[in-house]
Amino acid sequence: MFEIIRDPLWNNITLDDLAIRLVDTRAFQRLRYVRQLGLAYLVYPGATHTRFEHALGTWHLAGRTLALLQDRGELTAGHEREARVVAAAALLHDIGHYPFSHALEEIGAPHHEDVAGALLTRGEIAEVLRDAIAADAPERVVELIRGRSASPLQGLVSGSLDLDKIEYLKRDALMCGVPYGEIDVDRLIHSLTLVSDPVTGRSTVGVSEKGLSALESLLFAKYQMYRNVYWHHAVRSATAMYKRLVADAIDSGSLRVAELASFSDESLLHQLEERAPSRLLRGLRERRLYKRAFECPSAELPEEAAEWIASDRRLVAAAENQIARDVGLELGEVLLDYPVKTQMLDLDLPVLRRNGEVRRLTGEGLEGAINLPMLSNELYRSARWLRVFVARPALLDRKAVVRLAVMPESEVRSRVANGESLLTAR
């Protein structure tokens, strides 16, 4: 049995019996109500697309890629058996996502890929996978999603050039109405190939040398999308507000971390209205976002400066409260934001050279090609900004905030514990 789904990006997406059964599960249907780009719709009104259609698109790309590999004779009998598991993993890779995308992972909630483990190995989805593929299929899908599988096709699901990245960049650009996500998808997919890893000798997903220019297009698209959409200042303001209000609700006992992955976007906001109403929540609902009082690109800071802002929500909340007192604002009216550190393009990928040699493209780059790893790091540091958002106008001395940014984390903790100002020199 097959079904055809009309899609604005890929036109027709064909679902086979396995996909239909998985899509019809309750856990997968929840993805209809989890926006792909979190709170970006407050800036780009068209960004209301969801994890549901993104998952269908990733399934579609997996089918196209596996068919190409098979047509070229690269899939052995063993690979063909593995292909069905890979296709299922592509479809289910976002099953554990929290409401409003990745924001809750930034306040310490378990990673969505870890949440997916329970959803995939117990209940409806596990039953479908065991019945349609194999008894150990749920566990194999989980390993693929977590990037820990020994499958030669691991790189299609989680890796330097996985199909998830290709799909979300194209879809996000389309739905936001921006020209930044332009990727040569056909070239990329056609350049994917199974090669023998030059280090381990095992079969793995690599890219032919002729696909490097398409890989460059993906890097630039990702940079542009981060700079103009994902890390847009108003999107980050809304995200910082959302993170603080959910973290406060968890700290007060109004919400439990364990229940977060069961909510849709709107059901979580409804629960917050019922259990922990706040000015932050009203501000999000009415799009009264906090404004920038300070911003500085990562490129102007030392390499490891201010990383505690991206990783330690309790220290961040305490620092925000101390700064609010320092500048005469109410608690909760100052928010610090520094997006979680990520690589623009985390490259560790075998490249099949034209002479048949396989070389690994890593942080050292590849001779005869643009130094993608170095360029990736430079682009990333220019796209990532440290910001201070405020609910009401307040004057923040730029030198004082930069001094805080480069302050050792131990000193920040000490000052917060002692109630000392974070904006004055000792």
* Predicted confidence (pLDDT) per residue in 141-158, tens digit: 999 999 999 999 999 999
Q: Is the confidence at residue 368, as pLDDT, over 90?
A: no
What is the structure's pLDDT at 117? Answer: 87
Q: Measured between alpha carbons, how far is 35 from 373 in angstroms, rounded to an integer?
A: 30
What Rg do the C-alpha atoms of the chain give, in angstroms?
23
| Distance between start and end Cα atoms, the chain | 72
Instruction: Enter the pTM of the model.
Output: 0.93
With cut-offs at 50, 70 and 90, classify the pLDDT of residue 103.
confident
What is the structure's pLDDT at 362? Answer: 66
Q: Measured between alpha carbons, how far is 222 from 226 in angstroms, rounded to an integer?
A: 6
Average pLDDT, the chain: 91
With cut-offs at 50, 70 and 90, classify the pLDDT of residue 190.
very high
Q: Is the confidence at residue 341, as pLDDT, over 80?
A: no
With cut-offs at 50, 70 and 90, classify the pLDDT of residue 91.
very high
What is the structure's pLDDT at 330? Answer: 95
Residue with tokens 């030669």: 152
Q: Is the confidence at residue 401, as pLDDT, over 70?
A: yes
Q: Please list, residue by residue across 43-60, b when 16 or more beta carbons sit within 10 angstroms of its beta carbon and e when fewer do.
A: bbeebebbbbbbbbbbbb
With cut-offs at 50, 70 and 90, classify the pLDDT of residue 366.
low
Angle between helices 77-92 and 137-145 (to 10 degrees): 70
With cut-offs at 50, 70 and 90, classify the pLDDT of residue 217.
confident
What percent of the chain is predicted at pLDDT more than 70? 95
Query: Could you count the other beta carbons within 10 Å of the beta carbon of residue 64?
Result: 16
What is the structure's pLDDT at 290? Answer: 98
Torsion angle of the four alpha carbons 363, 364, 365, 368, in this order, in degrees rounded to the nearest 10: 180
Q: Is the confidence at residue 343, as pLDDT, over 80?
A: no
The tokens describing 72, both together, are 């070229």
Mean per-residue pLDDT for 389-410? 94
108 vs 49, higher pLDDT = 49
What is the structure's pLDDT at 371? Answer: 66
Q: Measured between alpha carbons, how far is 362 from 300 in angstroms, rounded to an integer?
A: 25
Q: What is the DSSP letter of 33?
A: G
Lowest-confidence region among 189-198, 246-255, 368-377:
368-377
What percent of the chain is predicted at pLDDT more than 90? 70
Helical H runs in 95-162?
112-121, 124-132, 137-145, 154-157
The tokens describing 170, both together, are 């194209």
Mean per-residue pLDDT for 266-290? 95
Lowest-confidence region among 12-16, 296-300, 368-372, 375-379:
368-372
What is the structure's pLDDT at 373? Answer: 64
Mean per-residue pLDDT for 207-228? 88
Q: Summarize pLDDT for 16-65 with one digit per residue, the tens.
A: 999 999 999 999 999 999 999 999 999 999 999 999 999 999 999 999 99
Mean per-residue pLDDT for 126-148? 95
DSSP string, 48-87: --BHHHHHHHHHHHHHHHHHHHHHTT---HHHHHHHHHHH
With cut-offs at 50, 70 and 90, classify the pLDDT of residue 367.
low
The tokens describing 97, both together, are 């996502």
295 vs 117, higher pLDDT = 295
